Structures are given as C-alpha cells and as structure tokens.
Amino acid sequence: MAFKEKFLWGTATSSYQIEGAAYEGGRGKTVWEDFCSRPGKVLGGQNGDRACDHYHRYKEDVELMAQMGITSYRFSIAWSRILPDGTGAVNEEGIAFYSDLVDMLLKKNIIPFVTLFHWDLPYALYKKGGWQNPDSVTWFREYAGIIASRLGDRVKHFITFNEPQCFIGLGHVTGEHAPGNKMSKKAVFEMAHHVLLAHGNAVEVIRERVPDAKIGYAPTSAVPIPVSNNPEDIDAARKAYFSISSDDDNYMWNVSWWSDPVLLGRYPEEGMRVFAKDLPEISPEDMKIISRPIDFYGQNIYHGYPVRSDGNGGWEMVGRNEGYARTAIGWPVTPESLYWGPRFLYERYKKPIIITENGLSCHDWVSLDGKVHDPNRIDFMHRYLKALNQAAKDGVDIDGYFAWSMMDNFEWAKGYFERFGMVYVNYETQERILKDSAYWYRDLIQSRGRLLEET
C-alpha cells in the first residue's frame, strides 16, 4: 500500500448545492438565485433554495460522516452568508453557522477543509461587474481575510477557488451556468486574470492571519490517457494535457492557463501567443502576487480521453470504443485518469497532490428492502482509487482523496436529476440513507486502503 499513514480520506460538498436556507440567517442573494429564476436554465425549473437543508441539519450530516469514518471534510463557504452585499458589514449569523459546523467536525475528529469560493458569487457584486471589475481582487481579499480571522484558530486547511474553468468558462463563455453570460474573449480573459490575482491575494492574507495554514487551489481537468505505455504515446498524452485549447466554445478549459501562473509564476507561452490580442495588461508584479507559494495542489478529476502519438512529435485524440462505459450523467468511466492526471501534474508542478473531487452520478433509488444499493459507485471508486494508489507507488506525492459527494444534492443546471452522493437524500422529507457505497468507503478507510489490494 502506497498511501501515506496520514492520507486524507475525505468527502466534499459545496454551499449552494446543499445548504438551502437561501433567504434565512441574513444570507444575501447570489448569481445562482437569479440564474435559477430564469425559465429554461435549470432542468425542471429547480433551484437550491432548500437543497438538502444542511443549514438546519448539519449536526445530523456530520454524524453521518463520523459513521462513515471520514477523516476530512471539504466544504465551501457561501460568501453572501458572510457578507450579504459581498463587502462591508459581517453577518454574524453566517459566521456562527460555519463556526458551529467547524466545532462539530473537530468534535468528531474530522479535519475541516474550507473552500472559499465554489461558484456562488454575491449578486450585489455581480451588479458591480463581478469578476470583470478590477475591484473584485480587493473584494475577495477582504472576504478571505475575514474567514481566516474568524475561523483560522481552528481551520488550518484552505482552498481558494474551485474549478475556475467552470465558473468563468461555463458562466461567461457558454452561458450554461450562472450568471449565464456569453462574453467576448477580451472580457473573459480580464475576469480570468482577476480571479488569479484574487487567489494570490487570498493566499497572502491567509498566511498573515493563520501562519500555520496549509493553502491550496482546486482547478479541474479531463485527463489525456495514453493508448499504450510506449514512451511516444505517454509523451503525446503529456503534451495534450498542457496544450492550449483555442476552441471558441472551450478555450477556458485549459490546465496550463490556470495552473502555470499559480505554480510556475508565468502564463504558458503557447497561450500568450494564441490569445495575444485578447489579453489584458499583465505585469511582473501581477505574476509575483498570483504565484504566492501554496502548500498543495488540488485537482478535480472525473474522467479522461484516449490519446496517441501522431508520429511527428505531436498528439491526436483517439475515438472511444462503441458502447463505452458511462455514468448516469453520461461521462466516460476512465479509472486511468486518476493515474495519469496526478502523474503528469506532479511532474510539471512538483507539489503534493490532493484529489479534491472524484465520483459519479448513478441511477439510485430506495429498494424494497429500504436500502440504496449502488454497486456501480463502489466499482467506480474501487477502480479509480486503485489507479491513484498506483500513482503513489510510482512516486507521485499524494496527500488525500475527497469523494464527490457526501450526499445527493443540487447538481447546478441539472437540478436534482443527478445523484452523486454516498448518502441518499429524499428531497421531499429530507431523510438521509447511507448507500452501500458509504459502508464500502467506511470499510476502505478502516483498512487504510488495504481493501484495494484484495481484488
């Protein structure tokens, strides 16, 4: 077994997807309330107003985590629950909720991992231009400083942003997520640069206020998987992973554009060339701020795609086999992505890796025996974690794994039609039921991963 003695066996959620209480406790409006109110944006016209009612049921939910043997819990804070207008006076009810949640987690010996931003921008800030406004850097620094000051005596692990590829790309390029915009490349690259500056400022203020903090960042990626172990195909997949996509519908879906500045202190040369006419002014001082040192590199990985050498030093995608395995949401099942992704990322960035999200949506329901049987989820997690363990055996420094998700929840534009949780949620009654995968994960944790070696 290659996983570390103190490997983080975790699970994850996000504020808008589970908390509910959208208009309670002094919480301000977010771009998601606005987006969900627009006809045709979310399946079934659904919204996160109530979601899993975690705001009122967090004690029950932490008890379930304890039953599962979870050692760390990654959750996001709703910016507008702390600062209803995004800036200004602190909402003490909001702080109290997260403070009580942290205390409950620590009581159960569960390490809290706080994500500062998981897509739910305060609507008041959106009206001021959101991430396109240069002041967004200062807004985020102020917010991060408040969280560090108020929770940093107990919370020691922080993640600045979750999946900027999504909240910028899906929110402002394709428009399929909140706030639902389709903007020019010039505007989008301004926003992307401000997000990275906000990240660097958050790292700086957290370091000032929580000197013993461990700070990370959690972008996402689909992983190129070499079709063979031939050096040429492996090199092709590596090149594909860090290449720049210039597809007009997908140009924000890049690994190197979002990670090179943070970890290498520079934007990738290919991107600077391809996007030159649309880029904002980028100063050396900007890059110093963006590349403030972090302690771990998070990565959300769900799947990958096959790649081979084109015979000329480049790469080409390979078509998938007919009838390839897919999850309920339609994503391919590719366990190898949790081997090659961490391997390539560690080679390039040389930071300890945490898989900050990995999981799948299944067709789950309550069976006649009153239980929820999800063998596909167990098989999926087993395969992916075996691949991750092999990466660790091959020298990749891996600190932990956070299963997505702790519980079924509001799956953004898919509403409540997709179930990603290890805990089943009846959205009418708010009853929780541990699925078979929750018990399997408990047993895996208790074995410290050794169950992966038995099959």
> Does the structure show a pLDDT above 70 at 1?
no
The neighbour count for residue 247, using CB atoms within 10 Å, is: 9
Is the pLDDT confidence value at 131 over 90? yes
Amino acid at position 408, single letter: D
Gap between the Cα atoms of 273 and 445, Å rounded? 46
**pLDDT at residue 372, as a whole number:** 99
Counting every residue written for the chain, the total comes to 455
- Listing DSSP states for 7-21 in one string gives -EEEEE--HHHH---
**Residue 50 confidence (pLDDT) above 80:** yes
pLDDT, position 2: 81
Residue 60 · residue 406 · CB < 8 Å: no
Domain locations in the chain as residue ranges: 8-453
d(CA 34, CA 366): 33
Is pLDDT of 454 > 90? no
Report the chain's mean pLDDT, rounded to a whole number: 98
The per-residue pLDDT for range 197-228, each reduced to its tens digit, is 999 999 999 999 999 999 999 999 999 999 99
Active-site hit among 336, 357, 411, 418:
357
Name the E strands within 145-246: 157-162, 214-218, 220-226
357 is catalytic: yes
Helix (H, G, I), strand (E, B) or coil at 103: helix
3-state helix, strand, coil in the chain (%, to 5): 40, 15, 40
CA 198 to chain CA centroid, Å, is 17
Residues sharing a CB contact under 8 Å with residue 297, sequence separation 6 or more, in sequence order: 216, 217, 259, 263, 345, 349, 351, 352, 353, 354
Q: What are phi and psi of 64, to 5 degrees?
A: -65, -40
Element holding 136 (H helix, E strand) = helix 136-151
Task: State the pLDDT at residue 275.
Answer: 97
Q: What does the pLDDT look like over 257-299, one tens digit per residue? A: 999 999 999 999 999 999 999 999 999 999 999 999 999 999 9
Fold of 8-453: TIM Barrel (3.20.20)
pLDDT at position 227: 98
Residue-wise pLDDT tens digits, 96-123: 999 999 999 999 999 999 999 999 999 9
pLDDT for the residue numbered 250: 84
Does 455 score more than 80 pLDDT?
Answer: no
76 token code pair: 């996001």
In a 3-state reduction of DSSP, which class is residue 254? coil
pLDDT recorded at residue 433: 99
**pLDDT, tens digit, 9 for 90 and up, residues 307-364:** 999 999 999 999 999 999 999 999 999 999 999 999 999 999 999 999 999 999 999 9
430-438 mean pLDDT:
99
- At 391-431, the pLDDT tens digits run 999 999 999 999 999 999 999 999 999 999 999 999 999 99
pLDDT band at 246 (very low <50, low <70, confident <90, very high): confident
Res 42 pLDDT > 80: yes
Specify the residue for token string 């996007």.
275
Per-residue model confidence as pLDDT tens digits over 145-204: 999 999 999 999 999 999 999 999 999 999 999 999 999 999 999 999 999 999 999 999
pTM for the whole thing? 0.98
DSSP class of residue 428? T
What's 199-227 look like in SS3?
HHHHHHHHHHHCCCCEEEEECEEEEEEEC
Smallest CA-to-CA distance from 204 within 115, 137, 127, 260 is with 137
Identify residue 82 by its one-letter amino acid code. I
Which pairs from 374-380 meet CB under 8 Å and 24+ separation? 374/435, 374/436, 374/437, 375/436, 376/327, 377/422, 377/435, 377/436, 377/437, 378/436, 378/437, 378/440, 380/327, 380/333, 380/335
**Of 163, 190, 336, 411, which residue is the catalytic one?**
163
- Judge whether 60 counts as a catalytic residue: no
